[in-house]
Amino acid sequence: MKQDKPAAKQQVSWVGYAALFFALIFFSGIFSDAENWTRVLDFTVLQGSFGIIGETGKAIFRGTGGTGARDGFMFALSLMPSVILALGVVSVIEGLGGLVAAERLLSPFLRPLLGVPGVSGLALIASFQSTDAGAGMTKALYEAGDLTDEERTVFGAFQVSGAAPITNYFSSGAGLFQFLSVPIIIPFVVMLVFKVLGANVIRLYIKTVAKKKAVA
């Protein structure tokens, strides 16, 4: 944990908070139907659309009625721009300090929300991007004495359900964005809420069932 401590004290400039705010707007779809220039603030607008082939007025290069591996390949090709754009934008937000800003905003709520100390904020944000980084940092927190074994179990349960949500949702998940009938960010928020709920079920379980077993 030693090498992580200085990072935890980094200053967050207003740019970081602005980037985080932008990210929420960008994936929220608030501006997707705007009629003026503010449309530029929306993922689906910047994603644009494929051109139409021929005069059918419908089919893009994928064609219609395909099946099997060939259709899967053409379909996957049509999803690639979403994945590339989503991760490009996530990278800009990360580079501007948006994730550090999120960590700063979340830290005070970790104790009430998950029962883990605020110092776990960095591991939490890391776990949003990489399952392995989050798990590794959690182990380090335990070894440094910042987390008890029980807190580690709750924190681990939080991480494993919907693991690495930023990376997985905005890469693999981006392939499904175009079929969603709600703004992109809504399933993501539902996911985060359930991550917290699930972790609290485990928190309760540890406090009651697991403790009793240990005593008996």
Partner 1 sequence: MSNAQAPVSRQSLMDMFVAGARRGWNVATNNMVPNVIMAFVLIQALNVTGLLEIVGKAFGPVMALWGLPGEAAAALIASFLSMGGGVGVTASLYTAGKLSGPDVTVLMPAIFLMGALLQFMGRCLGTAGVDSRHYPVIIGVCIANALLSMWVMRLILILF
Q: Which of 24, 71, 105, 117 binds partner 1 (CB under 8 A)?
A: 71
Q: Per rule CB under 8 A, is residue 72 in the interface with partner 1?
A: yes
Q: Which is nearer to partner 1, 41 or 83 (CB)?
A: 83
- Rounded CA-CA distance 123/188 in Å is 19
Q: Per rule CB under 8 A, is residue 18 in the interface with partner 1?
A: no
Listed ranges 20-28, 37-45, 51-59, 193-201: which one lies at the site for partner 1 (CB under 8 A): 193-201
Q: Per rule CB under 8 A, is residue 148 in the interface with partner 1?
A: no
Listed ranges 33-41, 48-56, 108-116, 158-166: which one lies at the site for partner 1 (CB under 8 A): 158-166
AA identity, residue 6: P
- Rounded CA-CA distance 3/140 in Å is 10
Smallest separation (angstroms) from partner 1 to the CB of 210: 7
Smallest separation (angstroms) from partner 1 to the CB of 112: 20
Q: Per rule CB under 8 A, is residue 182 in the interface with partner 1?
A: yes
Distances (CA, A) of 186 to 31, 149, 167, 206: 15, 33, 16, 30
Q: Which two tokens stand for residue 212?
A: 């009793």
Closest alpha carbon to 129 in 86, 85, 163: 163
Cα 199 to the center of its chain, rounded Å: 17
Q: Which of 75, 109, 144, 207 binds partner 1 (CB under 8 A)?
A: 75
Q: Which two tokens stand for residue 169?
A: 């949702």
